[in-house]
Structure 1
Amino acid sequence: MTKALNVTPTIRPITQADNAAIAAVIRQVSAEYGLTPDKGFGVADKTLDTLYQVYDTPKAQYWVIELDGKIVGGAGIAPLAGNEAICELQKMYFSQSLRGKGMAKALSKICFDFAAQQGYQVVYLETTAVLVEALALYQKLGFSHSQHLGQTGHDACEIAMIKTL
């Protein structure tokens, strides 16, 4: 059951001013689930503090969710490294205060619409079994298990999933 929020969150494209806040969310959520930087998860990415610059490229975009003036989540779409005909759903993280509120579904729709507008036909992601809620969400969104594709650098993410748009 989805619990309502008292204030409607805003989903918007990332700005350079959001870099530190979304990096803090990703680090906090990763720590909460035991996803440490030394193990090859997204929290270890050298670009974590510069996501605006990372996604300021063709066929890529990152969105943040802002609630009461604070960044509480985000997700992005970018070409899959090593297989640029496929896009990757990347760095989907939500602060605990935002989980279970239906925002992941709303943000996913924005990501999928963008991907389709960019000409992608397939969305790929990598995750880990520790993220039980995320796995359930991805299955509800139509993802199915897949072999690993591309060159994400996230060798600790043992689960690969794919969705046809």
Structure 2
Amino acid sequence: MSDAIITNDAKPVIRLIQAKDNAAVKQLVHDVLIEHGISGEGFAGVDPEMDDMFSAYQGPLTAYFVIEQAGEIVGSGGFAPLAGCEGEGIAELRKMYLRPGLRGQGWGHRLMIKCIEGARQAGFKQMYLETTPAMKAAQKLYLKHGFNYRETRLGDTGHGGCEVLMLRHLRGQRTDD
């Protein structure tokens, strides 16, 4: 997939992940992490679920979305209960990545709304994420959507290399602005 601005006539579509998307999602995550100089232990690219993202997000409190354009996966992101905080009403925003050619066109915003609204509908009260200082554009998006920085980790994501911790409340905050 080219990293140029996407200009073909095929409009991107956000949909739930399908089994056929597993390899493309794994490649997307790998490519974006490498782009930001992030790889190895402590980061999302080595999570066991990477080999079968479809199966990992089939639970009643999970969802994983892909952005497909012209038959290619150009973005992804989802949510699941935060490991180590089961029963506390905290969802984790997971593996939200966009190809460079899709960025700056509002698709991150649309995907974020899908994740936040999905988590809210699943009954979660808060959403937590971990990222890295290198992902500055992502942090701007998270801040725009009501996430705030925090000093201490929640749960057990296994992403010890991610130093930026953020949390937002899901009740009473609009996601459509």
Q: Match of 1:34?
A: 37
Higher strand share: 1
Counterpart in the other structure of 1:8: 11
Corresponding residue to 1:143 among 142, 147, 170: 147
Q: Is the 8 A contact 2:6 2:102 kept in 1?
A: no
User: Separation in 2 of the partners of 1:32 and 1:158?
Assistant: 18
Equivalent pairs: percent with the same residue?
41
Instruction: Give, in whole Å, the separation in 1 of the partners of 2:118 and 2:20.
Output: 22
* Cα distance in structure 2, aligned partners of 1:27 and 1:136: 22
Secondary structure, aligned partner of 1:64: strand
Q: TM-score, normalised by structure 1?
A: 0.94
| Residue in structure 1 matched with residue 97 of structure 2 by the alignment | 93
How many residue pairs were aligned? 162
Displacement of 1:46 in angstroms is: 2.1
Per the TM alignment, residue 7 of structure 1 is displaced from its structure 2 partner at its CA by 3.4
Equivalent pair of 2:77/2:93 in contact (CA under 8 Å):
yes
Is the contact made by 1:4 and 1:101 (CA closer than 8 Å) also made in structure 2?
Answer: no
CA displacement 1:17-46 (0-9 Å, x = unmatched): 000001100001111111112x41101212
> Does the residue aligned with 2:52 lie in a helix, a strand or coil?
helix
Give the whole-Å Cα distance in 1 for the aligned partners of 2:138 and 2:147: 11
Partner of 1:115: 119
The letter for the 2-side match of 1:77 is F
CA displacement 1:103-153 (0-9 Å, x = unmatched): 011011111111111111101000010101111111111100122100000
Could you tell me whether the CA contact under 8 Å between 1:73 and 1:93 is conserved in 2?
yes
Pair 1:50 & 2:52 matched: yes
